[in-house]
Structure 1
Amino acid sequence: MVARRLRIPITAAVLLASTGCSNATPETASADGDPVSSPAGYPVVIENCGEEFTFLAPPERTVVMNGGSVAEVSTMLALGLGDRIVANAQNYGISEVEGRQAEIDALPTGDLDLNDAGDIPREAMLSLRPDFVVSTYDGGFAADLGHATRDELRQLGANSYAPAHSCAGDVAEGTPSIEDSYELITDLATIFGVEDRAEEIIQTSRAEIDAVEALVADAEEPQVLVLFVGMSMGSGGLGDVGATGIWNDILARAGATNAFASASAGMFADVSLEQAADASIDGVVIVSYQHPDPESEAHRLFEEFPQWAASRNEDFVVLSDSIYLGPSNAAAVEAIARMSHPERF
């Protein structure tokens, strides 16, 4: 579903009746029932994954769960909200954005013992006393996975959020696109009251992507393999091959096509070595997740499949956070376009 950003209307009559003046700050009740004065522009109501969450003020104690993502923490940093994070579990160890990895490394982690999935277990989460928890997907609030539920967080006085496209039951509604990244940016900016920053980020991203699309317009689209290294999402002989994901929109904007987009209805495809050998691969995108030497993975493929055009020309690019949901998709579009159409740059 699509998150709705709604501001609760406070009528002049209510303000006059409660305060005797028309420009007073409205008072609402906190989780423990005490009156709380909301700053200008608040309260804010967000609909997320079928529930509504009321923010009386911008969150001050945000916890960012892992989920194998850096989309949420990168978005908060891009919005200038790093000081609102009390514990961050997201980290790829690399970023296409200059200075971004250093920013992530500098964030507090809460000194938590993560569970086997590398995420924050229920008791550890509750001990942090957050007022806002961000997850990569709605399963980050699933009791059967050992996480604090949305209801438990509410009782603690904390709101919760997951990107709209990853809400349970909604993933099948369509392949994520760059527009979903913009929605994530807008949602978090609305929650924290920094919509002007979101508008600037999105406008800049659109302009950069439009410029690349103009450069590669009408060019023949190469077939590109998207291979994730350092993960374990697939079981095929080729490794973790990207199938249905935001990367397909990124590739299209860069004037390229995913060679295995139809290999699976899910995010990752199991591609056998035989299928890989028969495929026409003009370029390779290596997506690194805490891999010590991602470039070696490209060279390994080139040695194993010398018949590929990509192997003959050694056409590859290493990416990390920019090819996922988040504020940096323009970097991935340009990098893939430069690999695919160097003559246009």
Structure 2
Amino acid sequence: MNHRPLTAAALALTALAATGCGARVEEEPNRAGAPATVTVPRCGEEIEYTTPERAVVYEGGSADKMFSLGLTDHVHGYVMPPANPPVTESPWADEYARVEFLSDDLLNRELVVDAEADFVVAGWNSGFSDQRGITPEILDGLGIQSFMHTESCFNYPGHPEEVTPFEGLFTDLERLGAIFGVEDRATELVADYRARVETVEEQVPEGEPVPVFLYDSGTDQPFTAGSQVPPNDIIRFAGGRNIFADLDERWTQVGWEAVVEAEPEVIIILDYGDQPAEDKIGFLTDLPALADVPAVAEENFFILDYNEGISGPRNIDGLEKFAEYLGEHTS
């Protein structure tokens, strides 16, 4: 990947085609046979891409974004940690079957190099990691292009970019569309997803939003969703109020006392990993401190699939399901 700024002469020869995601296509006629490139933001940093042919995607959200754009032929393989639900349950199960399963481990540099990847899609701290030695900068140095989920840029040092979670999803689809030259498909997809969100919003009954607590995991302290992750938008667009929406965080720990004080009427269970959702519900139901919390007393638990809760096209499915649940279980 080339990060050098274009010279004035190159700029004079460059044809710029602006898109909704801020990408620009660059063609340099004096470089015979050179592939066209496109400059697209990556967490606030302008990056020059050529069309990838051997993408490696990490977790369901990354794979789903590529598959939804019809880019299966550009995906070499996927890395799927055990926490992810089986890919056979995915709406894109057939697409997963067409590409290579590379590992059920965390994303790492050796895996990517061994796969001869020319493009890696992942989130910051949920794929890319300083601690594990696989960052966009390290991959840049290896000549491997990378793309980071915009929703995860909130935590990314150096080049911050902050949007609401659903806007992060739409931005990613538009930017991937620009990188792979499928802008029309991306535009169509985003328009469809926006329309589905608007339909849900239009059906929300009048009145105060329903207080909602998302339970990810944790016993001594619960792990939950702040304002910077997709469940926050799922809750608010469906007519709820994330009781921890005032926390300018992504996934974070809180105290049980704060949950009790907020009196949630619905609890969302994020379903993934080795602990079944029913076990999580059992833990919450048996926790004495929560006995008088309305959601527990009335057994108002909604199960959100992991891939509906991380940045990806299935966020919209999760929104529609949760909105339907709220309509049936709250007044």
Mark yes or no: TM-score above 0.5: yes
Match of 1:70 among 48, 54, 60: 60
| Residue 196 (1) aligns with residue 184 (2) | yes
Distance 2:284 2:57 in 1: 35
Query: Alignment RMSD, CA only?
Result: 3.3
1:13-24 alignment runs, 5 A limit: 14=29
Unpaired segments of 5 or more residues in structure 2? Answer: 1-19
1:191 Cα deviation from its structure 2 partner: 0.9
| Residue 135 (1) aligns with residue 122 (2) | yes
1:285 Cα deviation from its structure 2 partner: 0.9
State the match for 2:6 in structure 1: none
State the match for 2:8 in structure 1: none
1:282 Cα deviation from its structure 2 partner: 0.4
TM-score by length of 2: 0.78
| Residue 254 (1) aligns with residue 248 (2) | no
State the match for 2:316 in structure 1: 330
Contact 2:56 2:120 in 1 (8 A): yes
Distance of aligned partners of 1:311 and 1:149 in 2 relative to their CA distance in 1, 3 Å threshold: closer
Distance 2:90 2:107 in 1: 26
Distance of aligned partners of 1:95 and 1:219 in 2 relative to their CA distance in 1, 3 Å threshold: farther
| Residue 60 (1) aligns with residue 53 (2) | yes
Distance 1:174 1:148 in 2: 19
Unpaired segments of 5 or more residues in structure 1? Answer: 19-25, 28-35, 230-234
Deviates more, 1:290-299 or 1:243-252: 290-299
Q: Kindly provide the amino acid, as one letter, of the partner of residue 179 in structure 1.
A: E
For residues 35-91 of structure 1, the C-alpha deviation after alignment (integer angstroms, 9 at most, x for no partner) is x453xxx332223245444334x31101123xxx43211101111222322231135
Distance of aligned partners of 1:341 and 1:6 in 2 relative to their CA distance in 1, 3 Å threshold: same
Size of the aligned set, in residue pairs, is 304
Q: Kindly provide the amino acid, as one letter, of the partner of residue 132 in structure 1.
A: F
Aligned partner of residue 126 in structure 1, secondary structure = helix
Aligned partner of residue 54 in structure 1, secondary structure = strand
Q: Kindly provide the amino acid, as one letter, of the partner of residue 211 in structure 1.
A: T
Distance 1:100 1:9 in 2: 34
Distance 2:110 2:322 in 1: 42
| Residue 87 (1) aligns with residue 77 (2) | yes
Q: Kindly provide the amino acid, as one letter, of the partner of residue 252 in structure 1.
A: R
| Residue 275 (1) aligns with residue 275 (2) | no
State the match for 1:21 in structure 2: none
Contact 2:49 2:145 in 1 (8 A): yes
State the match for 2:301 in structure 1: 316
Deviates more, 1:322-331 or 1:144-153: 144-153
State the match for 1:23 in structure 2: none
1:215 Cα deviation from its structure 2 partner: 0.7
TM-score by length of 1: 0.75
1:189 Cα deviation from its structure 2 partner: 1.2
